[in-house]
């Protein structure tokens, strides 16, 4: 039977699943899907273990022990919904509806489940959540240059002379890109990975530029300097499709390779060679990772990278260009799902999700947050500044409901836990963000225990609260049909019935897809080297390298915390999902920190030692991995383990800060100064 991977990953793999005696027994990739081609990752291959996990929540639960203790008693759905309605009504009466905060992210990328709560909380007048934790910074930067979150189809890298995997660990985080990289390489492409450590992706590349974290904009500016000085540019493309070249050319004179080399931590000769290779032909494809943007200067970094293909005309080449995300290419109408028309006027306050800890503990906030409703997210583990998040979640006067598939760190702090269905148990529509297909998945299993989908639970809550009932009277199927029907030409002709029959459809885009061949949907209609919009926002209007707020240039902090600590994903978890799996935890090993021999030796740390990593926020325990995979001065902590599986009971996000990046209000997860010592 067909299914679709529901997880927050650019690939959105098409799956084939086997069900025997009412149990999921096998999951493989569907070879017929044009992009994912039957290749899936090691975690989703073990999906049966997740669906039938001993940690699955099967019935509604009520807390019977202290907050955070995870002691619960089973209750009925009627009692759960009734309790929530009574508590919410009292809170609305005493504090106003803004005292209710919904908190969700991308546990499921299914569009019905992702947006299931929006109409309910809008109609209640609850606080709005700024869902900033992942893509906002990268997207804001990308839009500043090219106006839309789209780019050349990655399939087009097959046939390129040069493929650059820039801040993307595709071998872990979007494995299907590696299928294309291999094909491109077989056709003669030279592959360069740009990453502070030697990831499995970098290992498979011909060349690895091991940059210092947060310096990619400087690297790109040095490339521009060489391209312009040596005339390796496409004057025709620049003339017809870009804005501000004259000012850019003047500006990049300040970034000669010799000056940039010590900033990025690479020899000037390497920068020049890379630039010449990039400028040798327009058949150059850059796949930019979203992870790259999780730095203080991450928006500007993405904006700067988006300028490169415009200098050489690569955006117009059938095997060139760049892709950060395909998300904005889908011309669907989100108002159908989000229902902004249900919001009261003026709209309720907006709370940035990465400030959850602040929102729950700030005594001056009026009204205070008195009720938290968490679904499709595990904020206790994934949010920065975890200590503050946990302090907030531990508040006795906070009424917390968590709708979950498994008993997560966050669920442990709930007053009520509600059981959620998995993608194998409910219908949904999936929109990829690393490729250009829409897919529909039907349930292949009945709901496990008494599990209900986000859509069903929000519908019950809407009824209990007497709001938005007409919206939830729709079926998911009707909602999907309406969502597609209200879209633009990119989805014209794609219907529920067709998706149900075929499983997927590529949206209506030409092949090759060259969205910026003749300009871009910015204010000027051109790819903007110079951005008046950024100038108005008080940001540098031209691509500019700004050192990290929390990096080696911050000498006061670096004196105490001399190492840069980046915190990218690991192979077998997806954010904190799959940390529930004993099998995958075993494959992953143990929470660990990679450090270079030059950093380990003076600290008396040997491979396998128990160590403490400390930042200005807090400390957590890890096992040291002494390895030349990372450069001196940079330590790497991969993955997010649940607290109960982490030595010392606190995870990686105890170390990270909740300050926002330069653009988009997102988190600077990777801009961390730390110290490592033996435990
Ligand atoms: N296995 C697995 N897959 C995942 C996820 C997961 O947790 N595990 N998460 C999913 C989600 S939610 C997302 S958003 C995507 C993210 O996927 P990607 O966009 O691929 O980003 P990441 O893998 O987070 O990080 C990419 C790389 O950026 C590197 N990096 C960090 N700082 C810098 C820097 O300053 N410069 C450069 N050049 N590189 C830097 C990191 O070392 C990492 O190797 O992956 C998804 N897929
Ligand atoms: N240190 C560090 N922290 C990070 C990152 C990092 O790279 N490093 N990456 C950040 C990024 S990119 C992101 S996107 C965030 C992700 O943050 P989250 O979106 O919170 O990601 P997950 O940890 O996967 O938690 C999702 C939860 O939703 C549940 N779930 C899945 N499907 C459903 C459903 O249909 N209904 C309900 N009710 N629940 C469901 C799952 O069981 C899971 O526990 O984490 C961020 N945090
Ligand atoms: Mo993400």
Confidence band (pLDDT; 50, 70, 90) for 401? Answer: very high
The number of the ligand 1 atom at minimal distance from the alpha carbon of 106 is 12
- CATH 3.40.50.740 in the chain is located at 61-134+347-506
DSSP assignment, residue 21? T
Helix 77-95 with 454-465: angle, nearest 10 deg: 50
Give phi and psi for 130, each to the nearest 5: -85, 110
Predicted confidence (pLDDT) per residue in 37-51, tens digit: 999 999 999 999 999
The CATH code belonging to domain 61-134+347-506 is 3.40.50.740
Q: In the prediction, which pLDDT does 263 show? A: 98
Kindly give the distance from the C-alpha atom of residue 167 to the centroid of ligand 1, in angstroms, as a whole number: 7
Q: Which band of pLDDT confidence, cut at 50, 70 and 90, is reported for residue 129?
A: very high
Place of tokens 């995979």: 629
Band of pLDDT at residue 643, cut at 50, 70 and 90: very high
In the chain, residues under CATH classification 2.20.25.90 are 2-51
CATH 3.40.228.10 residue spans of the chain: 137-324+514-536
Mutate to test the pocket of ligand 1, among 291, 565, 593 (most ligand atoms within 8 A of CB): 291
Please give the pLDDT value at position 655.
98
If you measure from the C-alpha of residue 227 to the centroid of ligand 2, how many angstroms do you get, rounded to a whole number? 41
What CATH number has the domain spanning 555-678? 2.40.40.20
Band the pLDDT of 522: cuts 50, 70, 90: very high
Pair of tokens at residue 663: 């653009």
β-pairing verdict for 527-528 and 242-243? parallel
pLDDT tens for 222-235 read 999 999 999 999 99
| 600, 654 Cβ separation under 8 angstroms | no
Q: What is the mean pLDDT of the chain?
A: 98
Tell the CATH superfamily of the 137-324+514-536 domain: Dimethylsulfoxide Reductase, domain 2 (3.40.228.10)
What are the tens digits of pLDDT across the range 297-346? 999 999 999 999 999 999 999 999 999 999 999 999 999 999 999 999 99
Q: Which CATH class is domain 2-51?
A: mainly beta
Q: What is the pLDDT of residue 226?
A: 98
Which pLDDT tens digit goes with each residue over 188-212? 999 999 999 999 999 999 999 999 9
Measured from CB, residues less than 6 Å from any atom of ligand 1 are 8-9, 134, 166-169, 172-174, 194-197, 199, 211, 213-214, 216, 289-292, 295, 566, 568-569, 571, 573-575, 670
In angstroms, the CA 278 to CA 60 distance is 57
Ranges for all domains in the chain classified under CATH 2.40.40.20: 555-678
Q: Which tens digits make up the pLDDT trace of 56-77?
A: 999 999 999 999 999 999 999 9
| Atom 28 of ligand 1, residue of closest alpha carbon | 167
Instruction: For residue 575, name the pLDDT band (cuts at 50, 70, 90).
Output: very high
């409910």: which residue's tokens?
Answer: 426
Q: What is the DSSP string of 245-314?
A: HHHHHHHGGG--HHHHHHHHTS-HHHHHHHHHHHHT-S-EEEEE-SGGG-STTHHHHHHHHHHHHHHHTG
- pLDDT band for 411, please (50, 70, 90 cuts): very high
pLDDT value at position 315? Answer: 98
CA 256 to each of CA 245, 274, 351: distance values in angstroms, whole numbers, following the listed order: 17, 14, 42
The H helix count followed by the E strand count for the chain is 27, 27
d(CA 76, CA 61): 8
d(CA 355, CA 456): 29
- Of 117, 374, 405, the residue with max ligand 2 atoms within 8 A of its CB, to mutate for a pocket test, comes to 405
């Amino acid at each position: 039977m067909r299914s679709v991977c529901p997880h927050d990953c650019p690939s959105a793999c098409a799956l084939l699943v086997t069900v025997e005696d009412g149990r999921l027994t096998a999951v493989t990739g569907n070879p017929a899907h044009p992009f994912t081609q039957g290749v899936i990752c090691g975690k989703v291959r073990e999906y049966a273990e997740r669906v039938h996990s001993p940690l699955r929540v099967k019935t509604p639960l009520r807390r019977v022990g202290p907050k955070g203790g995870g002691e619960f008693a089973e209750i009925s759905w009627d009692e759960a919904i009734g309790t929530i309605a009574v508590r919410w009504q009292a809170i609305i009466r005493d504090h106003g509806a803004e005292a209710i905060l919904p908190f969700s992210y991308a546990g499921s990328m299914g569009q019905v489940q992702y947006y299931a709560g929006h109409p309910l909380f809008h109609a209640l007048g609850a606080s709005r959540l700024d869902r900033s934790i992942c893509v906002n910074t990268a997207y804001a930067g990308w839009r500043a240059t090219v106006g839309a979150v789209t780019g050349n189809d990655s399939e087009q890298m097959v046939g390129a002379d040069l493929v650059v995997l820039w801040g993307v660990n595709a071998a872990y985080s979007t494995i299907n890109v590696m299928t294309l990289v291999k094909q491109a390489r077989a056709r003669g492409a030279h592959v360069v990975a740009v990453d502070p450590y030697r990831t499995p992706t970098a290992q498979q590349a011909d060349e690895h530029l091991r940059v210092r974290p947060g310096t990619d904009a400087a690297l790109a500016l040095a490339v521009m300097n060489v391209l312009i000085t040596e005339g390796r540019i496409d004057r025709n493309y620049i003339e017809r499709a870009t804005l501000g070249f004259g000012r850019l050319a003047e500006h990049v004179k300040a970034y000669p390779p010799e000056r940039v080399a010590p900033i990025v931590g690479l020899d000037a000769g390497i920068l020049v060679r890379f630039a010449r290779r990039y400028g040798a032909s327009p058949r150059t494809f850059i796949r930019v990772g979203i992870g790259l943007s999780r730095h203080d200067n991450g928006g500007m970094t993405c904006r700067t990278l988006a300028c490169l293909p415009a200098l050489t005309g690569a955006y117009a080449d059938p095997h060139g260009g760049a892709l950060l995300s395909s998300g904005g290419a889908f011309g669907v109408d989100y108002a159908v799902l989000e229902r902004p028309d249900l919001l009261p006027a003026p709209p309720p306050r907006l709370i940035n999700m990465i400030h959850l800890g602040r929102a729950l503990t700030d005594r001056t906030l009026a009204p205070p947050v008195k009720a938290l409703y968490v679904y499709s997210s595990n904020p206790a583990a994934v949010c920065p500044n975890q200590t503050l998040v946990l302090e907030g979640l531990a508040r006795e006067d906070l009424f917390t409901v968590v709708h979950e598939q498994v008993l997560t760190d966050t669920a442990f702090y709930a007053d009520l836990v509600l059981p959620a269905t998995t993608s194998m148990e409910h219908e949904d529509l999936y929109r990829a963000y690393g490729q250009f297909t829409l897919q529909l998945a039907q349930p292949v299993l009945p709901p496990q225990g008494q599990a209900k989908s986000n859509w069903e639970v929000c519908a019950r809550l809407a009824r209990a609260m007497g709001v938005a009932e007409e919206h939830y009277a729709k079926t998911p199927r009707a909602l999907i049909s309406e969502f597609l029907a209200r879209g633009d030409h990119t989805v014209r002709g794609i219907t529920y019935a067709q998706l149900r029959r075929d499983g997927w459809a590529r949206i209506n885009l030409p092949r090759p897809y060259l969205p910026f061949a003749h300009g871009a949907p910015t204010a000027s209609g051109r790819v903007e080297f110079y951005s008046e919009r950024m100038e108005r926002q008080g940001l540098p209007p031209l691509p500019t390298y700004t050192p990290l707020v929390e990096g080696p240039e911050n000498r006061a902090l670096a004196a105490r915390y001399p190492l840069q600590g980046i915190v990218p994903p690991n192979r077998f978890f997806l954010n904190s999902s799959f940390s529930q799996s004993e099998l995958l935890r075993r494959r992953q090993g143990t929470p660990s920190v990679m450090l270079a021999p030059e950093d380990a030796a003076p600290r008396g740390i040997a491979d396998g030692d128990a160590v403490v990593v400390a930042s200005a926020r807090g400390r957590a325990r890890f096992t040291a991995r002494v390895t030349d995979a990372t450069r001196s001065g940079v330590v790497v902590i991969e993955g997010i383990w649940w607290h109960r599986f982490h030595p010392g009971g606190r995870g990686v996000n105890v170390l990270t800060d909740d300050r926002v990046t330069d653009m988009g209000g997102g988190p600077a997860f990777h801009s961390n100064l730390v110290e490592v010592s033996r435990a």
